[in-house]
Amino acid sequence: MVDEIAIIGAGMHPWGKWGRNFVEYGVAAISDALTDAAVDYRDIQFVAGADTMRNGYPGYVAGATFAQAMGWTGIPVTSAYGACASGAMAIEAARQRILAGLCDVALVVGADTTPKGFLAPQSGERWTDPDWLRFRLIGATNPTYFGLYARRRIDLYGATEDDFAAVKVKNARHGLNNPYARYRKEYTTEEIMASPIVADPLRLLHICATSDGGAALVLASMDWARAHGHANPVRIKAVSTITPTFPNTVIDMPGFSTDSAAGVPAPERTFKQAIGDAAYAQAGIGPEDINVAEVYDLSSALELDWYEDLGLCEVGGAEQLLRDGDTTIGGRVPVNPSGGLSCFGEAVPAQAIAQVCELTWQLRGEATGRQVDNATAGITANQGLFGHGSAVIVSR
Amino acid sequence: MTHTRVAAIEGWFTLDDEPHLLGTRCSESGTFYFPPETTMSRAPGCSAATLEPVQLSRIGRVWSYTNAGYKPPPPYIAMTDPHVPFVIAAVELIEERIVILGQMVSGVTVDDLAVGDEVEVVLDTLHFDDDGNEVVVWKWKPTGRRAEGAQ
């Protein structure tokens, strides 16, 4: 088990398609997080920024960009990039610094401004870049991979299109009253089924959009938190930023293939299962202790995979868990009470931080309109391109 | 009009009538690589191994499949306007124990497929280039058989 650190402030800028500089969203989120923590920025001792790749140089050096925007104070910064896992990497950078005793209180921030449509690779002729080649040679977009996973659930576990729609209906309802969500609208199964196929069996309303948004956290050592008026803060018990173990036998974006298992036997647990395992091991708790989860529903079907990967049910049991209402607010282990990516769309560097913001509010009992009763432990999960695991366990 | 066939990418597949995907094999662990890995074996502890060029099995079984309902963004070069959805399959080669992505040949729809179906590798048009050459790429074609022990 690893020592805990405190989350003393959480803040977000509403998700949307605002078309403004990403720095504005980040600064708004920082301001809210600092107010929430009752901390003056000049007392922050370290800034960890999660990078965006779509906003030029300031996005590559997000830590410095936000430190400059808040007014230089001479403190060290870091900028983290791990695709969709960038936010978790930034949280981990701040946590390590606090646990090492190198600082008492740190700021974590991520924000993005996104273009419309499919996420596309960098332009130019990039014949050694798999992310470019998969578009060129196969026309494989990100939803292609989501479609492959979804189809396998149908053929192996008897998932139905109604199940995928039920995930969307649930998340849309969860996010209805979330002031930070971009889409606050209920959907019927019929509306979802009427939306066009993007990557069979997935339809447009099953696939998450890309959004602008920003999220920030103020983290502190437990001693510093208590000495500054936070008697019983939400704690971070684990951060899992693991990579796969060779051979990785589940095809992942943006690859053309899996690793081969002909030489070295495949590990017992898949990469996504291992992401949760590592977090549970660090926290010293198990899936049975979790009462709320925020997972990456890049597609509605992918949320079902996460139920199993995080051990909320056995492999092949996700549809039943969903149908029993266990993952709906009021059920045994509500998943995506925020509304998830279904209601937010993805703001890549902010999203993993936003997941932790939501769990912080849930565990404090401040998630108005979407509150999970008596939540004491929660887990977040996502997986970034190119082998980046991301899971955070919080408790109170 | 006949077109000269050119490979969409060099060194990933042969251009004969019964084409093979080209990979490499780690001399120590026996791990296969596609696309061909030429720098270093990624199998842990095999950094000193040599990577031998190999032709991969022509037959595999469908691990999963989906389609492209919308036209993919560049650098994909569309063959048709308006877009006609095409199927993409992830196919497991049994001996190599590797799953490889590829388009299905045109004419196949998702309704024609199930996980476990047997497919073979063929060459098919990806697009035509500015010189009128037929740019070909590997695609999967159903053999009509269902692999044993498939799931």
Rounded to an integer, the average pLDDT of A194-200 is 97
Both A14 and A42 in a single domain? yes
Q: Express each pLDDT in A229-257 by its tens digit.
A: 999 999 999 999 999 999 999 999 999 99
Percent of chain A beyond pLDDT 70? 99
Rounded to an integer, the average pLDDT of A154-175 is 98
Under an 8 A CB cutoff, do B75 and A249 touch?
no
End-to-end CA distance of chain A: 16
Both A110 and A254 in a single domain? no
Both A94 and A33 in a single domain? yes
Both A106 and A51 in a single domain? yes
CA–CA distance, A244 with A269 (Å, rounded to integer) = 10
Domain edge (last residue) among A178, A200, A234: A234
Listed in sequence order, the residues at least 6 apart from A261 whose beta carbon sits closer than 8 Å to its beta carbon are A247, A249, B97, B98
Rounded to a whole number of angstroms, the distance from the CA of A146 to the nearest CA of chain B is 9
**Mutual angle of helices A300-309 and A161-174, in 10-degree steps:** 90
**Which region among A106-120, A147-161, B42-56, B67-81 has the lowest average model confidence (pLDDT)?**
A106-120
What's the confidence (pLDDT) of residue A307? 98
When pLDDT is cut at 50, 70 and 90, the band that residue A115 belongs to is confident
Under an 8 A CB cutoff, do A260 and B98 touch?
yes
At A203, which helix (H) or strand (E)? strand A202-203
How many domains does chain A contain in total? 2
Any domain includes A224? yes
CA–CA distance, A259 with A251 (Å, rounded to integer) = 8
Both A191 and A319 in a single domain? yes
Please give the mean pLDDT across all residues of chain A.
97
Which residues of chain A neighbour B33 with C-beta distances below 8 Å? Answer: 260
Any domain includes A124? no
Both A226 and A241 in a single domain? no
Under an 8 A CB cutoff, do B9 and A261 touch?
no
Quick one: DSSP state of residue B12?
A: S
Both A193 and A113 in a single domain? no
Both A176 and A217 in a single domain? no
Both A266 and A357 in a single domain? yes
Any domain includes A122? no
Determine the residue among A119, A125, A151 to mutate to test chain B binding: the one whose Cβ has the most chain B Cβ atoms within 10 Å: A151
Any domain includes A68? yes
What's the confidence (pLDDT) of residue A65? 98
Both A228 and A274 in a single domain? no
Question: Is a pLDDT exceeding 80 seen at residue A120?
Answer: no
Please say whether the beta carbons of A229 and A220 come within 8 A: no
Both A300 and A347 in a single domain? yes
Any domain includes A353? yes
Supply the range of the domain harboring residue A38: 5-117+212-234
Question: Is a pLDDT exceeding 60 seen at residue B8?
Answer: yes
What's the confidence (pLDDT) of residue B147? 60
Rounded to an integer, the average pLDDT of A16-32 is 97
Which residues of chain A neighbour B96 with C-beta distances below 8 Å? Answer: 260, 262
- CATH number, domain at A254? 3.40.47.10
Domain edge (last residue) among A169, A199, A234: A234
Any domain includes A203? yes
Any domain includes A33? yes
Under an 8 A CB cutoff, do A138 and B70 touch?
no
Any domain includes A123? no
When pLDDT is cut at 50, 70 and 90, the band that residue B151 belongs to is very low
DSSP three-state, residue B67:
strand
Closest CA to A347 of A10, A54, A32: A54
Please state the ipTM of this predicted complex: 0.95
Q: Express each pLDDT in B70-101 by its tens digit.
A: 999 999 999 888 999 999 999 999 999 999 99
Both A105 and A152 in a single domain? no
Nearest to B29 among A156, A255, A264 (CB): A264
